[in-house]
Structure 1
């Protein structure tokens, strides 16, 4: 929760030390700065080492507001209970889930040589905790969550907050007595996520995704479309479904038209008895998820680790008689029999033991191809930044920990789980990346460090008069429950009005109230925030109140200003804030 004291004048005066220095010649070419460097320049964060971030007062205000929004959504809409887990996790929990050998874990020992890790994620710890409190079907469904620091030994931290070694994360976990109840919890949490990201105003995409190493058979990711993103999403123009690249299946407009060279990926079945040969157009990216889908996941995990030569060697080691060896050939839907196939690796084989699967898609989706889900619309790709992920985990962790409950017939059954994450600090970094422009940041009002800044003409000979006008604006804004603790006027002494406006724009405050010596008692409200949906909800109220408030609007390609008598400044900002 944002403390009310953050708005008082003593705090604001002490804030000077953290503010960026605006030079007389201007603020420089900030467009050339990386977003993380721009956040440092704006006095929001400070980096200590690669992948580790210190939060400064302005940035911390935004972070705390986002946390408060998440708390409200989790408690009031998801009905989740807050917990707080230790950030140090014992080795034996991770051994139960076979994840202790994860190379991204920060590991440590205590004075007795007992081994621990800094938590990178909390499936092990939350399962170990909740199995103490869930004993009966009557205890479920239940969802718990926390917001806490996580640690991952990223080899290449990048983007400041986007890929850090220490980061703030909201992780929630649902516990259910059946798969149907668990999927209901999964669907309900996705509705909460839709509500949360909608409140942030910035357009987002929810995409069906691969669950990866965490487990489960159902997952959704939440993304912001942006050219700087590391992920690729595909959206169908017919069914409007969106998929992460790992999960997206596409079909060519005309199957079997490709006639060039082919690449091959070898794999083995779970029992190592059968060789699988995946053939696809040369130069395209083989997609393991689509391949597993076609083989009902009957692919040994070593297939994704070993190269082709080692897979063949492993296959030969497990054959007593090559004439009895089984081979499955999987042909991508884009190829035909006239393609140039790679040399077959086996010298002895019986064709009777060959099985062929054709007309399947086993490569990454391609822009403009048909959607594999509806088979009617075409796919369009976008680069994106992932900021949230929801999973139906099933019983992967409860089985490892023996987490059971007694059902209606007093028989023990495994608990079904779901997992729901939001990278809180990453989300701040993503929004910063998306909203920045040539002047600085443009935060949504719900998480901006402050909602309103007050900039005034510096006149040494009328210093007391200037302060009286500033105090009058503050008194009016304080009458608004929305704005009273959201007022920023912490400009160093003798900072001219131009530099005050420049600093306010750099920080990203949505509304800038400008007090001019000649226009008083009228003030200007300069809109810095973005109307992402172009709804302009404020215009209906403008038509209704413009005469009463003597409200004038000036809009150009560069700026939007609202000029009103000072007594109406708070009411007008309350109207303008509804879509920013």
Structure 2
């Protein structure tokens, strides 16, 4: 029989602890583990309810983000409506996005459920900003967003409804906007440090959001969907989509060659992109090689369709004079096996060629395209944050103007900055878990301390009172049907950083098992100084849940737990 929500609230997840030990934990996906432990409940594919435990962790992450956004990012909090009118999205050419949830009101007006708020915030701020004196301005919000994912996957990592922190900056000049972009990236560094999980920031492709510069924030993990590349010489880190590379030796590939056709921006030149068949064409590198003179709207268009567009409205005489640019990836040579060119009957002498470009995704071991000296390494990763310098991409179509000092009108320079808050819960759970269950960093754990005892008695009450009066977040396992070992296992699987074990046999000493990873070494110095006086001993390789095992007299419990928590 399934427990009611009241039972979950009161007893957290203990009702399922038995099924989540040993091999069951190892075999569970992180999403299923979060459900089994009572953090979330999936209702439909890509949709979840947040239960008390999950909400505590979600709120802790949210509070860390809000604190840094306001103290370091100098941002003001707002809360925008999630219903966004079609007219705004038509102005920015984003209404035809296939991932928008669209709906009509009773009057037949079209709206979408906002997946992001560039349109709404630009319209809002544009109605208030009139002068350069009103700038700079940065606002942020934390709220639910919606994306009609065709294949939701990864649990909280890619859902149809998600909690997101999105921020937007408005500046009077490009130089000021770039400084704001750099400042916000510093704020993001502080946020991710506060969360307590190692991360990397990488230069990235701006994608559909647009803009000239963007950075992504990642947790490296072998199961991640993204790839980040790092140079061992200059230290440059970027997403593989933004990473340029060169082979250790040029012109060494002699196998089959693939070709993709594209058109110049004016569609008068056919661009033929030749690259090794065993590599992936990188559109960002193509644009860089051609100084942006390529029609990006044809990126996913078939070769046949591109050729059809190139031939359109041209007579045979005009085709004879049409121009073709061949872009040869630097890995190719004259012995490579090239495909036939389909327009040889028309084009006789109007070929030009670019041969020294690298236009494919980088691979580990190649030379870094930034310094051309170091070698690249690659790691799979999970993206959890993204910052963009937008320029005037949204302010111009939505007419967000201001009056300058010279009394002329200019469009605002913008940036936008996102963090997937609910995605962070899933990502942190995934990259920190082990065979015993979740292993939260202290900063985001639902509780800092658990108290476990074979029976609820006056000793437990004394320890609980001692720790609670200290202002710490304490959870007491009160499951009367569970033995001590099962309660300890429950604490470890929940990922609570410190488990205090109370028993009559060891009293007045109390045992402590440390579940969360320690990042500091203060406890060692304190142990050397106070160990004997406090009755404090340590066994660092305790077998239960991979937790270090401490023992201390009760009157110094707060001292030891305080030191341990400080090192987390």
Give the TM bin, normalised by the shorter chain: over 0.9
CA 1:195–1:12 in structure 2 vs 1: closer, same or farther (change >3 Å)?
A: farther
Q: Is 2:474 the partner of 1:477?
A: no
TM (norm. structure 1) is 0.93
Select 2:218's aligned residue among 217, 220, 223.
Answer: 223
Select 1:468's aligned residue among 458, 469, 474.
Answer: 458
Q: CA deviation at 1:18?
A: 5.2
Report the equivalent of 1:432: 429
3-state secondary structure, aligned to 1:40: helix
Between the aligned partners of 2:550 and 2:57, the Cα distance in structure 1 is 26
> Following superposition of structure 1 onto structure 2, how do residues 341-380 of structure 1 map, counting pairs within 5 Å?
341-380=338-377
Deviation readout 1:92-129 (Å, 9 max, x if unpaired): 11111110111101111111111111111000000011
Report the equivalent of 2:3: none
Q: Is 2:174 the partner of 1:174?
A: no
The 8 Å contact of residues 476 and 567 in structure 1, kept in 2 or not, is answered as: no
Q: CA deviation at 1:351?
A: 4.8
CA 1:169–1:348 in structure 2 vs 1: closer, same or farther (change >3 Å)?
A: same
Deviation readout 1:550-569 (Å, 9 max, x if unpaired): 21111126331111111111
Q: CA deviation at 1:291?
A: 0.2
* RMSD (Å) for aligned C-alpha atoms: 1.7
3-state secondary structure, aligned to 2:17: coil
CA 1:306–1:26 in structure 2 vs 1: closer, same or farther (change >3 Å)?
A: closer
> Following superposition of structure 1 onto structure 2, how do residues 327-346 of structure 1 map, counting pairs within 5 Å?
327-346=324-343
The 8 Å contact of residues 457 and 517 in structure 1, kept in 2 or not, is answered as: no
Select 1:498's aligned residue among 473, 485, 503.
Answer: 485
Deviation readout 1:44-74 (Å, 9 max, x if unpaired): 1100100001011011100011111111011
Moved more, 396-405 or 335-344: 335-344
Report the equivalent of 2:476: 489
Between the aligned partners of 1:382 and 1:393, the Cα distance in structure 2 is 28
Q: Is 2:79 the partner of 1:81?
A: no
The 8 Å contact of residues 12 and 38 in structure 2, kept in 1 or not, is answered as: no
CA 1:505–1:220 in structure 2 vs 1: closer, same or farther (change >3 Å)?
A: same
3-state secondary structure, aligned to 2:18: coil
Between the aligned partners of 1:325 and 1:129, the Cα distance in structure 2 is 48
Deviation readout 1:196-238 (Å, 9 max, x if unpaired): 1111221101000000111101000000000111001111111
Deviation readout 1:132-183 (Å, 9 max, x if unpaired): 2211111111110000000000011111100000000000001000111111
Q: Is 2:133 the partner of 1:145?
A: no
Q: Is 2:283 the partner of 1:298?
A: no
3-state secondary structure, aligned to 1:401: coil
The 8 Å contact of residues 8 and 38 in structure 2, kept in 1 or not, is answered as: no
Report the equivalent of 1:526: 513
Q: Which runs of 5+ in 1 are unaligned?
A: 1-10, 459-465
Between the aligned partners of 2:37 and 2:231, the Cα distance in structure 1 is 39
Between the aligned partners of 2:8 and 2:304, the Cα distance in structure 1 is 68
The 8 Å contact of residues 542 and 549 in structure 2, kept in 1 or not, is answered as: no
The 8 Å contact of residues 220 and 382 in structure 2, kept in 1 or not, is answered as: yes
3-state secondary structure, aligned to 1:400: coil
Deviation readout 1:271-319 (Å, 9 max, x if unpaired): 1110001111112111111001111221113421321111112111143
The 8 Å contact of residues 273 and 319 in structure 1, kept in 2 or not, is answered as: no
Q: Which runs of 5+ in 2 are unaligned?
A: 1-5
Between the aligned partners of 1:22 and 1:529, the Cα distance in structure 2 is 19
Report the equivalent of 1:408: 405
Select 1:394's aligned residue among 384, 387, 391.
Answer: 391
The 8 Å contact of residues 12 and 489 in structure 1, kept in 2 or not, is answered as: no
The 8 Å contact of residues 203 and 215 in structure 2, kept in 1 or not, is answered as: yes
Q: How many residues align?
A: 558
CA 1:20–1:386 in structure 2 vs 1: closer, same or farther (change >3 Å)?
A: farther
- Dislocated runs of 4+, deviation >6 Å: none
Between the aligned partners of 2:33 and 2:15, the Cα distance in structure 1 is 10
